[in-house]
Chain A
Amino acid sequence: MTGTNFVTSAQNTWCPGCGNFSIQHTLKNVFADMEKSGTDPRNIVLVTGIGCHAKIADYMNVNSFYSIHGRAIPVATGIKLANPDLTVICCVGDGDTYAEGLDHLIFAAKRNIDITVLVHDNRVYGLTVGQYTPTSPLGFRGKSTPEGTHEHPMNPIELMLASGATYVARGYTRKMDQLRTLVSRGIGHRGFSFIDILQICATFFPVTDSYNARVYDLPSYDTADFSLACEKAREWDYNADSPLSLGVFYEKTAGRPEGKVDGAHLSEKEREQALYAFLASRQ
């Protein structure tokens, strides 16, 4: 079966020109591709945090769990462990996952859980009207830092490599064909997939011209080479006006064995017997 309408009738409230539209469009295309190649859309689950990015839960006509700020990843982890047959995708924001929920991001990578995380990285808090995030450049003047920040941004690509993610990529909402490929490949990857998606915030961080001038595609290299991946990841520190590479930094196929949940193998009767056997052992 194909032709599912992946967009709901919910009223869209993103600002005109917002990068989120591109990500939504990409997901819609990727889901349609998946459906064509045999994935039943009922087995897709979208999990979001809180922020502008998260409205995508309302806009996509798939199973969704609109969770709370920073917490999409543990929810997604629980869903995937409970039912490994589901394709679980997290849409998260940069403030959402790099600040409030950083612990979960790192541990998901460490665990190499088979979910795909798309970071809507606009490098600013939009929904709370303009504060700096962990990827805002040094000196960012936001509503909470009117004199400019004194903190260097973090480099999420480098962070994810260090944490054990087995698929690490960066996309850009103005390069939609590439983004579609990166997301598809991430979903297909067995293990933890991480895609930092640069998008502008039309209202609080409109840097399209700067990105357009600096982005380039990563050259072809052995993406299973961890040291090389780290080197490529350090090329741009999320601060300098240096060239900015897009594509897959690292991919390693040694996925974590995804067993079914043990409980599925025991009948109610067997559980009851185990319970009474335990009690008998304590007599």
Chain B
Amino acid sequence: MGNFMGQDVSVLIGGRAGEGINNAGMVVAHLMNHLGYHACMYYDYPSLIRGGHNFALVRIADRPIGIHRERADFVLALNQETIERHARKFHDGTAIIVNSDTVRGGGQGISITGILKAEGAPAIMGNSAMIGAFAKAAGIPFDTVTTVFSRHLPKGTEKNLAVARRGYEQVETVHRLAPAGTGGRPRALVSGNEAIGLGLVAGGLAAYISYPMTPSSSLLHFLAENASRFGITVIHPENEIAVMLMALGFSYAGRHAAVGTSGGGFCLMTEGLSLAGMAEIPVVILVSQRTGPSTGLPTYTAQSDLRFILHAGQGEFPRFVVAPGDPEQAFSWSCRAMDIAWKFQVPAFILADKTLSEGFSGMDPGVKPPEKMDVPFLRDEKNPYERYRVTDSGISPLAFPGTQGAVVKANGYAHDAAGITTEDADTVRAMTEKRLRKGKSLADAVAKLPAVNSPGHGGPDTAVICWGSVLGACSEVCSDLGIRLIQPVVLSPFPAEEIKRTLAGVQRLIVVEENATGQLGSLLREAGIPAARQILHWDGRPLTPDALAAQLQEAIR
């Protein structure tokens, strides 16, 4: 037994689908969260309901981390496959705990069926025995287990604790995880989708409308479960076409709506998106990317829909696209996306991916929503209301049906100021220019926001640029290697000038993204920002710090 080397520990929990691996991983994460560590969890599962191999990787460290590593310091194996599949993540010091009923050899064994039988507990509590054994192996006091179970396993707490106690007593401590000494209260462990949902609620969400599609569905489930708690309406209609159009109906009636989907569902939303562009109707759209094309890998990740989102929909119209890299960015930018959609009457995208949406990590439980933007749009009460009044800013005052003295005419055809269809060349030109001015107003407003994140470590010569959830790996590796990191959080309007300012003096720029063609790289080229090198990754799994470090070291050698 010894104290653990370094404050960076990875725990692998593996078993068959349907064995509650995800929940077990969360409890393990909470245990270590309560010791004061930064924690994150990645959950890997195939697209099926029962059977197949599932695993969770929980990682903790004494500094902020965003993604798991390709190593396991503790392994909790509920099946043989866990040992066989992940052997390359093990090292000499890996502490292995197995369910001796189902797994042969290696490490310390506990008999889950024996424990359940002794306690008269149902099979569903089996993982609690494993969690208890882990706590002992990691030298975590049983008091902490009691605290975490009481808070996070509210059903059958006593029985679960009794089961955990037996697991705890059957193994020896291998590596002692001392409390992190970071002090303060534990952080709130949330998924990226939950953070997005909270940000939307903070931004004034009235209705969330969505058709199930991984990896966006957990936002639908989260908001549906908490609808009355947050005072929102959640609707699951017949398909994504209806999702988008219903959302536009909500917005037209004056209520803040958001929709969520993944690439395939978004394909169906594009005609409604273009309508939102033409009719100037606010809507927030979560697109959580998964591996494509087509059905692709439903439960795995990618960053390959950036170009699609930037260009989707016929015709030309301004749009806002933000790609948060972690739950805190997801929270604050989802809130801002709602604000921007309404202030500029544009579609506002939150572009996430499986890694962010379904991964869990710590967030400041006292996080403050960002300030609302100061963009006045005043209605001229003296004259008849015109939905598309031509203004210098390009933004026309909003009114909603039911307003005294206002006939509100939204229109997806080319229209005049009153919203009446027209094919008149001068009017068409004037309205197109109005929408362009609105896009310019949006770009000016974005320039005042922290649209480009540059954490500020590293020397002047070399910089890495990335977007979205790959921030987790980039942030850690750049910090370790002393490389400057730049993450454009906003991708439309593209903050090219701010990126250029941030890159002043950089001789060598390396783009890191999880796709096969280098989509951010191509945007940078268009903006006249050449990159020396691209590190691309496209196997459906998130880029880990280990893999990225090796490639970056190679790139800068």
* A271 touching B238 in the complex, CB below 8 Å, given contacts A61-B407, A75-B249, A82-B253: no
Of A55, A272, A283, which contacts B202 at CB under 8 A?
A272
Kindly list chain A residues whose C-beta atoms are within 8 Å of the C-beta of B198: 275, 278-279
* A274 touching B241 in the complex, CB below 8 Å, given contacts A74-B249, A81-B246, A279-B190: no
* A76 touching B249 in the complex, CB below 8 Å, given contacts A67-B412, A280-B365: yes
In the complex, besides A65-B279, A275-B202, 17 extra interface pairs with C-beta distance below 8 angstroms are A42-B402, A45-B401, A55-B421, A66-B419, A66-B421, A68-B412, A75-B249, A76-B249, A78-B207, A262-B231, A271-B230, A274-B230, A275-B230, A279-B366, A279-B367, A280-B365, A282-B190
Interface membership of A257, Cβ < 8 A:
no
User: How far in angstroms is the closest Cβ of chain B from A218?
Assistant: 31
Kindly list chain B residues whose C-beta atoms are within 8 Å of the C-beta of A222: none
Of A58, A270, A278, which contacts B421 at CB under 8 A?
A58
Q: Are B238 and A104 in contact (CB under 8 A)?
A: yes
User: How far in angstroms is the closest Cβ of chain B from A259?
Assistant: 9
Interface membership of B245, Cβ < 8 A:
yes
Interface size on B, residues (CB 8 A): 67
Kindly list chain B residues whose C-beta atoms are within 8 Å of the C-beta of A120: none
Query: Which 8 pairs between the two chains have the least Cβ-Cβ distance?
Result: A78-B249, A266-B231, A74-B245, A82-B253, A78-B246, A63-B401, A74-B242, A282-B188
Q: Are A86 and B253 in contact (CB under 8 A)?
A: yes
Cβ-closest chain A residue relative to B199: A275
User: How far in angstroms is the closest Cβ of chain B from A91?
Assistant: 14
Interface membership of A43, Cβ < 8 A:
yes
B235-278: CB near A (< 8 Å → 1, else 0) gives 10111011001111111111101000000000000011001000
* A74 touching B241 in the complex, CB below 8 Å, given contacts A68-B275, A82-B206, A261-B233: yes
Interface membership of B103, Cβ < 8 A:
no
Interface membership of B443, Cβ < 8 A:
no
Q: Are B407 and A62 in contact (CB under 8 A)?
A: yes
On A, residues with C-beta under 8 Å from B are 8, 10, 42-45, 47, 50, 55, 57-58, 61-68, 71, 74-83, 85-86, 103-104, 106-107, 261-266, 270-272, 274-276, 278-283
Question: Can you list 13 pairs linking A and B with CB atoms under 8 Å apart?
Answer: A66-B413, A68-B272, A68-B412, A74-B242, A78-B252, A79-B250, A81-B249, A81-B250, A82-B249, A104-B245, A107-B237, A275-B201, A279-B367
* A82 touching B412 in the complex, CB below 8 Å, given contacts A68-B272, A71-B245, A263-B206: no
Q: Are B242 and A107 in contact (CB under 8 A)?
A: yes
Of B230, B235, B404, B412, which contacts A42 at CB under 8 A?
B404
Q: Are B409 and A64 in contact (CB under 8 A)?
A: yes
Interface membership of B536, Cβ < 8 A:
no
Interface membership of B383, Cβ < 8 A:
no
B171-195: CB near A (< 8 Å → 1, else 0) gives 0000000000000011111100000
Kindly list chain B residues whose C-beta atoms are within 8 Å of the C-beta of A271: 201-202, 230-231
Q: Are A85 and B237 in contact (CB under 8 A)?
A: no
On B, residues with C-beta under 8 Å from A are 33, 151, 185-190, 198, 201-202, 205-207, 209, 226-233, 235, 237-239, 241-242, 245-255, 257, 271-272, 275, 279, 363, 365-367, 400-413, 415, 419-421
Of A55, A66, A71, A280, which contacts B410 at CB under 8 A?
A66
* A265 touching B231 in the complex, CB below 8 Å, given contacts A42-B404, A63-B408, A65-B252: yes
The majority secondary structure among interface residues of chain B is mixed
User: How far in angstroms is the closest Cβ of chain A from B114?
Assistant: 33
User: How far in angstroms is the closest Cβ of chain B from A47?
Assistant: 8
Kindly list chain A residues whose C-beta atoms are within 8 Å of the C-beta of B248: 65, 67, 75, 78
User: How far in angstroms is the closest Cβ of chain A from B522?
Assistant: 31
Kindly list chain B residues whose C-beta atoms are within 8 Å of the C-beta of A79: 249-250, 252-253, 401
Q: Are B232 and A81 in contact (CB under 8 A)?
A: no
User: How far in angstroms is the closest Cβ of chain A from B293?
Assistant: 24
CA distance A230 to B232 in the complex (A): 39
Of A42, A50, A66, A75, which contacts B246 at CB under 8 A?
A75
Q: Are A78 and B409 in contact (CB under 8 A)?
A: no
User: How far in angstroms is the closest Cβ of chain A from B279?
Assistant: 8
Kindly list chain A residues whose C-beta atoms are within 8 Å of the C-beta of B401: 42-45, 63, 79, 83, 86
User: How far in angstroms is the closest Cβ of chain A from B400?
Assistant: 8
Q: Are B272 and A71 in contact (CB under 8 A)?
A: yes
* A78 touching B247 in the complex, CB below 8 Å, given contacts A86-B253, A104-B242: yes
Cβ-closest chain A residue relative to B222: A278
Kindly list chain A residues whose C-beta atoms are within 8 Å of the C-beta of B402: 42-43, 83, 85-86
Q: Are B366 and A78 in contact (CB under 8 A)?
A: no
Cβ-closest chain B residue relative to A85: B402
CA distance A263 to B256 in the complex (A): 10
User: How far in angstroms is the closest Cβ of chain A from B220?
Assistant: 16
Cβ-closest chain A residue relative to B408: A63
Of B189, B411, B412, which contacts A282 at CB under 8 A?
B189
CA distance A276 to B187 in the complex (A): 12
Most chain B CB atoms below 10 A, which of A50, A65, A275, A278: A65
CA distance A281 to B237 in the complex (A): 30
Kindly list chain B residues whose C-beta atoms are within 8 Å of the C-beta of A270: 231
Kindly list chain A residues whose C-beta atoms are within 8 Å of the C-beta of B242: 74, 77, 103-104, 107
CA distance A67 to B274 in the complex (A): 11
Kindly list chain A residues whose C-beta atoms are within 8 Å of the C-beta of B250: 78-79, 81-82
Of B245, B363, B406, which contacts A78 at CB under 8 A?
B245
CA distance A280 to B365 in the complex (A): 6
CA distance A44 to B403 in the complex (A): 11
Cβ-closest chain B residue relative to A78: B249
Kindly list chain B residues whose C-beta atoms are within 8 Å of the C-beta of A8: 420
User: How far in angstroms is the closest Cβ of chain A from B385?
Assistant: 10
Q: Are B239 and A263 in contact (CB under 8 A)?
A: no
Kindly list chain A residues whose C-beta atoms are within 8 Å of the C-beta of B205: 263
CA distance A57 to B228 in the complex (A): 36
Q: Are A103 and B253 in contact (CB under 8 A)?
A: no
Cβ-closest chain B residue relative to A111: B237
Kindly list chain B residues whose C-beta atoms are within 8 Å of the C-beta of A283: 33, 151, 185-189, 365
* A82 touching B411 in the complex, CB below 8 Å, given contacts A45-B401, A74-B237, A270-B231: no
Kindly list chain B residues whose C-beta atoms are within 8 Å of the C-beta of A272: 202
Kindly list chain A residues whose C-beta atoms are within 8 Å of the C-beta of B421: 10, 55, 57-58, 66
CA distance A57 to B411 in the complex (A): 9
CA distance A64 to B406 in the complex (A): 11
CA distance A94 to B251 in the complex (A): 27
CA distance A74 to B248 in the complex (A): 9
User: How far in angstroms is the closest Cβ of chain A from B6?
Assistant: 25
User: How far in angstroms is the closest Cβ of chain B from A183?
Assistant: 20
CA distance A64 to B385 in the complex (A): 13
Q: Are A82 and B230 in contact (CB under 8 A)?
A: no
Cβ-closest chain A residue relative to B247: A78
Cβ-closest chain B residue relative to A41: B407
Q: Are B232 and A67 in contact (CB under 8 A)?
A: no
CA distance A273 to B389 in the complex (A): 39
User: How far in angstroms is the closest Cβ of chain A from B31?
Assistant: 13
Q: Are B245 and A75 in contact (CB under 8 A)?
A: yes
Kindly list chain B residues whose C-beta atoms are within 8 Å of the C-beta of A50: 412
CA distance A177 to B33 in the complex (A): 72
CA distance A31 to B401 in the complex (A): 16
